[in-house]
Structure 1
Amino acid sequence: MVSAFIDHRLDGVIRVISIINRNSLQPLYCVYCSTEHDCRTVQADVQIHTDHFSFPYGASDVICKGKHVQNATHVLILSQLTTVLNLSSTDEKDSVDPKMEYLPIRNKVARETFKFNFTICISSLFGDYNNVLQFAQTMEMYKLLGVQHVVIYQTKCGPDLEKLLKHYETEGILEIVSWPIDKFLNPSSGWNIKTHKGDIHYYGQLVTLNECIYRHMYQSRYVLLNDIDEIIMPYKHTNLPRLMEDLQSAHPNVGVFLIENHIFPKTQFEDSGKFKRAEWSNIPGINIMEHIYREPDRKNIFNPTKMIVNPRKVQQTSVHSTLKEIGGCYHVPFNVCRIVHVRVPLQGHLTKEQLFVDKRVWDFEQELIPNVDHTLKLSGLLKVSS
Structure 2
Amino acid sequence: MKYRSNRRPYGLSKTCPSHVSDQTITPLNDTKHLLVSAFMDQRVKGFDIRIIAIFRRDSIKPLHCHFCCEGFSSITTPAKIVQHSDNFGFPFGTTDVMCPIPENCNATHVTLLPQPESEIASKQIWLPIRNRKTNMDEKEKLQFNFTVCISNLFGDYNNVLQFAQALEMYRLLGVGRVVIYNTSCGPELDRLLQIYSQDGFLEIVQWPIHQHLIPSTGWLFSAHGGDVHYFGQLATLNECIYRSMERSRYVLLNDIDEIIMPYQHDNLMSMMNMLEEQHPNAGVFIIENHFFPKKPFEGDKPGPLPQWRGVPGFNIMEHIYREEPDRTKYLPNKLIVKPRAVEQTSVHEVLKQFKETFKVPFEVCRIINCRMVYPKSDLEKLRVDTRLWDFSDDLLTNVMKMLRRARLLSSEPEGRQIG
Q: TM-score, normalised by structure 2?
A: 0.85
Q: Distance in 2 between matches of 1:3 and 1:331?
A: 30
Over the residues paired in the alignment, what is the CA RMSD in angstroms? Answer: 1.8
Instruction: Give the partner amino acid of 1:52.
Output: N
In structure 2, the residue matched to 1:19 is 54
1:161, CA displacement in angstroms? 0.7
In structure 2, the residue matched to 1:238 is 266
Are 2:395 and 1:368 aligned? yes
Q: Distance in 2 between matches of 1:346 and 1:22?
A: 38
User: Map of 1:82-231 to 2, 5 A cutoff?
Assistant: 83-84=118-119, 96-97=121-122, 99-109=123-133, 112-113=138-139, 114-231=142-259
1:54, CA displacement in angstroms? 0.8
Q: Distance in 1 between matches of 2:240 and 2:337?
A: 12
Q: Distance in 2 between matches of 1:261 and 1:135?
A: 19
1:215, CA displacement in angstroms? 0.6
> Which structure 1 residue ranges, 4+ long, deviate > 6 Å from structure 2?
none
1:271, CA displacement in angstroms? 4.5
Sort the Cα spacing of 1:270 and 1:234 in 2 relative to 1 into closer, same or farther, 3 A. farther
* Residue deviations 1:254-285 (CA, integer Å, cap 9, x gap): 11000011101024435524132211111111
Unaligned runs of 5+ in 1: 86-95
Are 2:387 and 1:356 aligned? no
Match of 2:86 among 51, 60, 69: 51
1:100, CA displacement in angstroms? 1.7
Q: Distance in 2 between matches of 1:290 and 1:272?
A: 12
User: Map of 1:256-335 to 2, 5 A cutoff?
Assistant: 256-269=284-297, 271-298=299-326, 300-335=328-363
* Residue deviations 1:162-212 (CA, integer Å, cap 9, x gap): 111011111110000111111111111110212211111000000000001
For residue 308 of structure 1, give the secondary structure of its aligned residue in structure 2: strand
**Contact conserved, 1:70 with 1:108, CA < 8 A, in 2?**
no
Match of 2:109 among 59, 65, 74: 74
In structure 2, the residue matched to 1:255 is 283
**Contact conserved, 2:76 with 2:116, CA < 8 A, in 1?**
no
1:36, CA displacement in angstroms? 4.5
1:339, CA displacement in angstroms? 0.4
**Contact conserved, 1:130 with 1:158, CA < 8 A, in 2?**
yes
**Contact conserved, 2:342 with 2:354, CA < 8 A, in 1?**
yes
In structure 2, the residue matched to 1:88 is none
Sort the Cα spacing of 1:36 and 1:288 in 2 relative to 1 into closer, same or farther, 3 A. same
1:297, CA displacement in angstroms? 1.6
Are 2:38 and 1:4 aligned? yes
For residue 82 of structure 2, give the secondary structure of its aligned residue in structure 1: strand
273-282 or 195-204: which moved more?
A: 273-282
For residue 380 of structure 1, give the secondary structure of its aligned residue in structure 2: coil
Instruction: Give the partner amino acid of 1:216.
Output: S
Q: Distance in 1 between matches of 2:178 and 2:345?
A: 18
**Contact conserved, 1:295 with 1:347, CA < 8 A, in 2?**
yes
For residue 76 of structure 2, give the secondary structure of its aligned residue in structure 1: strand
Sort the Cα spacing of 1:384 and 1:79 in 2 relative to 1 into closer, same or farther, 3 A. farther
**Contact conserved, 1:293 with 1:356, CA < 8 A, in 2?**
yes
Instruction: Give the partner amino acid of 2:138.
Output: E
7-16 or 134-143: which moved more?
A: 7-16
| Matched pairs, number | 374
Instruction: Give the partner amino acid of 2:404.
Output: K
* Identical-residue share of aligned pairs (%): 52
Q: Distance in 1 between matches of 2:374 and 2:234?
A: 23
**Contact conserved, 1:191 with 1:202, CA < 8 A, in 2?**
yes
**Contact conserved, 1:258 with 1:305, CA < 8 A, in 2?**
yes
294-303 or 120-129: which moved more?
A: 294-303
Q: TM-score, normalised by structure 1?
A: 0.93
**Contact conserved, 2:215 with 2:231, CA < 8 A, in 1?**
yes
Q: Distance in 2 between matches of 1:69 and 1:161?
A: 48
Q: Distance in 2 between matches of 1:172 and 1:67?
A: 37
Q: Distance in 1 between matches of 2:334 and 2:105?
A: 33
**Contact conserved, 1:269 with 1:292, CA < 8 A, in 2?**
no
**Contact conserved, 1:268 with 1:291, CA < 8 A, in 2?**
no
